[in-house]
Amino acid sequence: MKKEREYDKKYSVALVGATGLVGQTFLRVLEELRFPVKELKLFASEKSKGKKILAFGRDYTLKNITDDSVEKTDIAFFSTDAETSGKITPIFLNAGALVIDNSSFHRTNPKIPLIVPEVNLNAYNGERIIANPNCSTIQAVLPLSALSEYGILSVNYTTYQAVSGSGKNGISDLKRTLNGKNGEYYPYNISKNCIPKIGGNGGFYGYTEEEVKMINETKKILGLKDLPVSATCVRVPVENCHAVSVRAELEKEFDIDKIIQELSDTEGVEVLDDLDHDIFPVQELADGNDIVFVGRIRRDLSAKNGLLFYTVADNLRKGAATNAVQIALGLIKANKI
């Protein structure tokens, strides 16, 4: 993996939710990208208080969040549920932190930027809160952003989302059912079924919460508030890495070879597209990687200027931790923090 350069300034960094799957991934990514950490503060739930975690070659003691436990901080990464993020945001703002939140709590707030750094880092407006998008949204809008010159008229998604998107409970349920035991987390045996429900009822024409996230976040990130977007989100019996099938209807005519070249030239994207030689994105290729892999690029024969493509990405890395860390690094490089 390419290492980031050394930085002139170092930062006091807090990570909230350090013991979860995404939290542990945050620590690996911070190390691998050589994030300029001056001081690292790790927070977790009350049950983990006092435990130690190894990072950057030393042990760190986990803290529980109180007004007194959060001292002056430059950057705080949140890897928590939405409710917790809402409660703790004021505490870290009072400590002087720039908050980069991986939960959904801040994503729909029009004042708070929702950023995929390769797409819209310039959306940062000086706010001290930045929302990290949904994992499936990130890997879909990154290649979609390469199509902006053609005018995007509509987007439809079908996702194939790994159980790691449900955290440790999801992985445990897959392993449990693969060993012939009854599941305890999903409503059906995840080792034998694809489950077309992620999240609860989104309260929106029969869409689930996950589907509503993808709809709203796509519009916000691409700056197309009236863009028609639909989604069907499916949990599949794969441990890690999400796949998204994307259908986009474009305003202008296009040459498919040029589209493939433009996707190949997009930062953060790698095209794998040779059907004759079985070269296309799969989860094993994406696992542990920070690239969004794109393939099966072809015309949609049901629409005049329709385009189909398929993406795969590591949902714990580019879909969560890596994207958040890249946001911070991008702002550091731009001298905005």
Cα separation of 218 and 183, whole Å?
A: 33
- C-alpha of 67 from chain center: 29
**Looking at residue 280, what DSSP letter applies?**
-
The number of C-alpha atoms within 13 Å of 174 and in the hemisphere containing its C-beta is 19
Judged by DSSP in three states, 10 sits in coil
Residue 241 bears catalytic tag: no
Residue 106 bears catalytic tag: no
The active-site residue out of 106, 135, 233, 241 is 135
- Residue 306 dihedral angles phi and psi, to the nearest 5°: -90, 145
The active-site residue out of 106, 233, 241, 242 is 242
Other CB atoms closer than 10 Å to residue 202's CB: what's the count?
A: 17
Antiparallel, parallel or unpaired: β 75-78 and 98-101 = parallel
Antiparallel, parallel or unpaired: β 129-131 and 201-204 = unpaired
Q: Which residues are designated catalytic?
A: 135, 242
